[in-house]
Structure 1
Amino acid sequence: MSAKQIRIADVIKHFESWCPQSIAYDWDNVGLQVGTLDGEVTGVMTTLDVTEAVVDEAIRSNTNLIIAHHPLLFAPPRKLDTDTPKGRIIQKLLKHDVTVYAAHTNLDLIEGGVNDMLADALELNQKRVFLPEGKQTYKKLIVFVPKTHEQEVKDALHAGGAGNIGNYEKVSFVSGGSGYFQPNADAQPFIGQAGEIEKVDEVRMEVLVPSENVNQAVTAMVKAHPYEEVAYDIYPVEQTGKVYGLGRIGKLPVPMTLQELAELVKERYDVQHVRFIGDASATVETVAVLGGSGRDYINQALQQADVYITGDLTFHETQDAMEAGLNLIDPGHYAEKIMKQKVADYLQAEFLEVPIFTSQVNTDPFRGI
C-alpha cells in the first residue's frame, strides 16, 4: 500500500484500536479537534501540544495530520477571533488543510500509554496500575464464511481490532460445517441461483473483540466477506481484560537514594529541571509515577510507595506531603513529551511508507536560569 492510498481515517482507526476514545474521562475533549479525517495522509507528526510553531513545523514538512496529547480545544470556544493566538492557529490549520487529533486522558489510562512509558523509562518492575478506573470488556463475534474466504475474513477481523486477548494476538476459533440458503428473485448471490437451495462448505469463525472495536471489526469483516448478506452474531461475554487507569507503581531494579532517583528521572525523561522533596539520602525502591498533574493523589501515593513522581506540585500541598514523610519528585508537566516518539513508533510500524515524525518544537513554557 502506498502513502497516497492511506487516508487520515486509516491512521486514526489503527491508533484507536490501541487507544480508544471511549475510555477517556467524560470531562475530556479527545478525538478530532480541527479539520477532517476524510483525506489522503501526506505525513503524520506527533506532539505534546499544538502551538503556532508546531503548526508551522507541520506545514513546512507537508504534514497534514497532527496527533497531540494535549487538546488544542479543551473547552468549547465561544468565538473564533483570528487576532488571538488560538484563533490564528485554527485559521492556519484550516488554510493549509492540516487535521489535528488529540488523545489525552485515554492515552494516560490505556496500557502502554503515557504512564507506562514513564514507568518503563525508569525500568520499573512488578508494575501495576496506581489508580484503577476499569477493565477492558469484550464481545464475542461469530460469523459464517465460505471455506474459500476463511483467511481473507479472518485477516480483516484482526485488522479491525478483533482477536487480541492479553498478550496474545490474532486469536480465533474455526470449525467446519455446511451452510444452506435459497436466494429470492431480488438477490444477487455470490454463490447459487435464485429460487434454488444451495449448500456451501462454510466455517464458523469466533473471535473476541474489545467492546470499543466492535463496529470497526464488523465493518472490516463485512467488507471482506463475499456474501451479499453476511450471517453473524454478537454476544456479550463476562470475560474482562486488563485493568486500565491512571499512574503506575513498581519497583526500581535496585534501591537508590532519593537524590540518585531524581538525577535518573532528569536523565531518562530528558527534562531541564527536576525538583524533589524529602531526605536526599533516603533509600527508595517502590515508586509511584503519574504523568502530568497528579497533585490530587498525593495521599494515595503516600500509602503505597516510597516516592511519588508527578508534575505541577504546589507549595502548600508539597509542604504537607513533606511533613507526612512522603518523598516527591516533580519533573514538570513537560515530561509527558515522552509520548511523541512512542506514538510515532507505533504508527510507523503499521504505515511504513507514510512519513511519520515527532515535533522538534519545545513547547515547555518554563525556562530556567
Structure 2
Amino acid sequence: MFAKGQTVIQYMEQLAPKHVAMEGDKIGLQLGSLQKEIRGVLVALDVNEEVVEEAVEKGVDLIIAHHAIIYRPLAHLQSDTPMGKLYEKLIKNDIAVYVAHTNLDVTDGGMNDWMAEVLGIENGSPIDDIHTDDLYKLVVFVPKDHHQRVLDAILNAGAGQIGNYSHCSFNIEGYGTFLPGEGTDPYIGQQGKMEKAEEIRIETLVPASIRSKVIQAMLKSHPYEEVAYDLYAVDLKGRSLGLGRVGKLAEPVSLNSFVQRVKEKLEVPAVRVVGDLNRQIKKVAVIGGSGGRYWKTAMFRGADVLVTGDVDYHTAQDALMAGITIIDPGHNAEKIMKPRVAAWLAEKLSDDKYDTKVHVSKVNTEPFVFM
C-alpha cells in the first residue's frame, strides 16, 4: 500500500511545521498535486534539470526540496525557457514539488541543529528568535478508572512541557455531578437520574502549535460522550524557535583546525575564511544558507566564529574590523538535510506499513566549480 501525498506531507510537517517559517517564505506545495498515491519520494536540496531527470528515472511522484523552484511571481509559463522546460517536464511526468525552507531551518531537530551537531556545538540555542509558542492551560475532568489513560494520551501528545521538564501535570480528586438528559448514553449513571461521580481534575500546559493534536488525543481517550474541559490562554510563553544555533565546543581549537572540521563535516572542497587562523575558537555560531547579516547578533551572543554561506565582501570587512571570524562553506553546505529528511520520512512510512520508497538525491547542485 502506497501513502497518499497528503499523508507524506503530514509526516514532513511533523518535522518542519509550516507555521514556524519566516513570514513571506515560499514553502509548501509549489507544483503538482498531492491528491494521489506516492510510489516514491526524492529528497533534494534544489530542483534543477538533473534532479528532475533523476526523479523521472526513479519513478517518484513527489520531490521534497529545501529551496523553492518558484520564488517570485511568474510573469508567464513558456516552455521554451529553461525554467519553463523544467516546469513542463515535472507536469508531464506528474511529479509534485513540495518545499520546506525556513521551517526546516528553525525547527527542533532540523537544519541548524544538524549543522551544529556535526560541527561539535554543544547545547546550542537559536541565534535569533523568530517564533515563540503561546501557551494554554488545559483542564479536564476524568472518571477515576480512566484517569491514567487520559493523562497518558494528553502528555504523550506533547502537553506538559515546562522548560527541560516534560509530562508535567497537576491532578486533584473530587466529585462531578450531572443529570443525563433524553437521548444520552452516559458512561456513568442513567437518563433522568442525578449522578455524582468520583473524578480527577487534570491540569497541564499546552503549546498553541499542538493544541488541536492534544485535544483530539484527549477526546479519543476519554470515556464520556460529552467531555467537560476548559482551555484558556495564560500569560506565559512557550519555547522559542529561531534561526541558527550558537553554543560551545567541547574543547577550544584553533581556527585553522576548525576550518578543516567544517570542510570535512559539511563535505565541501573549500571555504572562505575571515580572521586569524591561529585564533582559539571556543564558542561557535552556525546558520545554514545565507546568514552573513547575523554576524552582529552572533558576536553579541559571544560567538568567536560564525559559520554561514554567501558572505559578501563588505560584510566580511565589517566583521573583520569588529573582531569576529567567519567561515563561509557556501550555500550548498545545506545538502546535509538530504539524508536526514529522507531517514525521517522513511521511518514514518515504514512504521505505518506503507510501501512508499524514499530516495536521497545523488545530484550535486553546487553551481560553482572550485579551481
Partner of 1:208: 205
**C-alpha distance in 2 between matches for 1:288 and 1:157:** 36
Q: Aligned in 2, Cα 1:340/1:237: closer, same or farther, shift over 3 Å?
A: farther
Map Cα deviations across residues 194-251 of structure 1 (whole Å, 9 max, x no partner). 6565676765444433212223433454456565544432221334333322222222
> 1:266: Cα distance to partner?
0.4
> 1:332: Cα distance to partner?
0.1
Cα contact 1:17–1:213 (8 A) shared by 2: no
Aligned pairs for 1:1-369 (under 5 A) are 4=2, 6-144=3-141, 157=154, 161-167=158-164, 181-182=178-179, 184-185=181-182, 204-222=201-219, 228-303=225-300, 304-352=302-350, 353-354=353-354, 355-369=357-371
Cα contact 2:139–2:229 (8 A) shared by 1: yes
User: What amino acid is aligned across from residue 271 of structure 1 in structure 2?
Assistant: V
Map Cα deviations across residues 96-155 of structure 1 (whole Å, 9 max, x no partner). 443332221122222332222211111112533222334333223334456676677566
**C-alpha distance in 1 between matches for 2:165 and 2:59:** 37
Task: Give the structure-2-normalised TM-score.
Answer: 0.82
**C-alpha distance in 2 between matches for 1:296 and 1:17:** 29
Cα contact 2:111–2:334 (8 A) shared by 1: yes
Cα contact 2:293–2:315 (8 A) shared by 1: no
Instruction: Name the SS of the counterpart of 2:338 in structure 1.
Output: helix
User: What amino acid is aligned across from residue 264 of structure 1 in structure 2?
Assistant: R
**C-alpha distance in 1 between matches for 2:70 and 2:28:** 10
Q: Aligned in 2, Cα 1:189/1:58: closer, same or farther, shift over 3 Å?
A: farther
Structure 1: unaligned runs, 5 residues or longer = none
> 1:38: Cα distance to partner?
4.2
**C-alpha distance in 2 between matches for 1:222 and 1:199:** 21
**C-alpha distance in 2 between matches for 1:227 and 1:80:** 55
**C-alpha distance in 1 between matches for 2:12 and 2:116:** 21
Task: Give the structure-1-normalised TM-score.
Answer: 0.82
**C-alpha distance in 2 between matches for 1:40 and 1:207:** 39
Instruction: Name the SS of the counterpart of 2:244 in structure 1.
Output: strand
User: What amino acid is aligned across from residue 68 of structure 1 in structure 2?
Assistant: A
> 1:326: Cα distance to partner?
3.1
Cα contact 1:64–1:97 (8 A) shared by 2: yes
> 1:334: Cα distance to partner?
0.8
User: Which range moved further: 140-149 or 310-319?
Assistant: 140-149
**C-alpha distance in 2 between matches for 1:17 and 1:155:** 20
Q: Aligned in 2, Cα 1:228/1:83: closer, same or farther, shift over 3 Å?
A: farther
User: What amino acid is aligned across from residue 361 of structure 1 in structure 2?
Assistant: V
> 1:270: Cα distance to partner?
0.8
Q: Aligned in 2, Cα 1:203/1:27: closer, same or farther, shift over 3 Å?
A: same
Percent same amino acid among aligned pairs? 45
Map Cα deviations across residues 283-338 of structure 1 (whole Å, 9 max, x no partner). 22222221111121233334432222111012233233334443221100011111
**C-alpha distance in 1 between matches for 2:224 and 2:108:** 37
User: Which range moved further: 243-252 or 285-294?
Assistant: 243-252
Cα contact 2:136–2:231 (8 A) shared by 1: yes
Q: Aligned in 2, Cα 1:302/1:172: closer, same or farther, shift over 3 Å?
A: closer
Instruction: Name the SS of the counterpart of 1:365 in structure 2.
Output: coil
Q: Aligned in 2, Cα 1:223/1:291: closer, same or farther, shift over 3 Å?
A: same
Instruction: Name the SS of the counterpart of 2:127 in structure 1.
Output: strand
Instruction: Name the SS of the counterpart of 2:334 in structure 1.
Output: helix
Map Cα deviations across residues 56-92 of structure 1 (whole Å, 9 max, x no partner). 3334334333332222222332333333343344444
User: What amino acid is aligned across from residue 320 of structure 2 in structure 1?
Assistant: M
Q: Aligned in 2, Cα 1:292/1:116: closer, same or farther, shift over 3 Å?
A: same
**C-alpha distance in 2 between matches for 1:89 and 1:231:** 54
> 1:339: Cα distance to partner?
1.7
Cα contact 2:22–2:130 (8 A) shared by 1: no
Q: Aligned in 2, Cα 1:197/1:41: closer, same or farther, shift over 3 Å?
A: farther
**C-alpha distance in 2 between matches for 1:56 and 1:190:** 59
User: What amino acid is aligned across from residue 331 of structure 1 in structure 2?
Assistant: P
User: Which range moved further: 226-235 or 272-281?
Assistant: 226-235
**C-alpha distance in 1 between matches for 2:163 and 2:361:** 32
Q: Aligned in 2, Cα 1:161/1:126: closer, same or farther, shift over 3 Å?
A: closer
